[in-house]
Amino acid sequence: MQQPNQVGIVVGSRSDIAAADKAAAVLEELGVPSETRVISAHRAPELLSRWVASADERGIRVVIAIAGLAAHLPGVVASQTTLPVIGVPMPGGVADGLDALLAIVQMPKGVPVATVGVGNGENAGLLAAAILAVGDSGLRERIAARRAAQAADIAADAANEGL
Ligand code: RP5
């Protein structure tokens, strides 16, 4: 039987899909099944609510919500579930992503959203995996192996010969 998706990724627009692909790729590398949806919080609010409810029911454990401009998508998702929500601000807008970053990171008290750097879908995927790894020692080992491989790549850089 196919493993249920553990991470739900939602983007506010097709124009945000590259960041979702980066999150999905790192999750796949770590053996974490995910699904990606394209649902605007303001243009399709009812569809968004249906997806959040179904994600909860189907066993999704972490949500990554990716948006630019007013970037309310992560906060709206978080308002409808107790699952952890990671927000990814997207570049563009009047301050090239600083606007979306502040909108997401400045979530008012009572309903938290974790925030990663502007456009950083990869870190969102890694943070989602780290949250899941709290209860999954195999996943924790795969994350540690990925970190070790990163460090080995840096050590192997010609500029670091002899260190
Ligand atoms: C937000 O507005 C989306 O997340 C996107 O980053 C931004 C622009 O959306 P589109 O005009 O490309 O649909 O809702």
pLDDT score recorded for residue 3:
87
Q: Supply φ then ψ for residue 126, to 5 degrees.
A: -65, -40
Which residues in the chain come in under a pLDDT of 50?
none
pLDDT score recorded for residue 1:
67
Which ligand 1 atom is at minimum distance from the Cα of 92? 6
The whole-model pTM stands at: 0.97
Query: Which of 142, 136, 128 has the alpha carbon at shortest distance from 60?
Result: 128
**Residues 129 and 107: beta-carbon distance below 8 Å:** no
pLDDT score recorded for residue 2:
77
pLDDT in tens, 130-156: 999 999 999 999 999 999 999 999 999
CA geometry: angle 29, 24, 42, nearest 5 deg = 165
Which ligand 1 atom is at minimum distance from the Cα of 41? 14
Q: How far is the CA of 71 from the centre of ligand 1 (A)?
A: 8
Taking CA atoms only, the protein residue closest to ligand 1 atom 4 is: 67
| Maximum separation of any 2 CA atoms in the chain, in Å | 59
Say yes or no: CB of residue 17 within 6 Å of ligand 1. no
Q: How far is the CA of 82 from the centre of ligand 1 (A)?
A: 25
Say yes or no: CB of residue 15 within 6 Å of ligand 1. yes
Say yes or no: CB of residue 70 within 6 Å of ligand 1. no
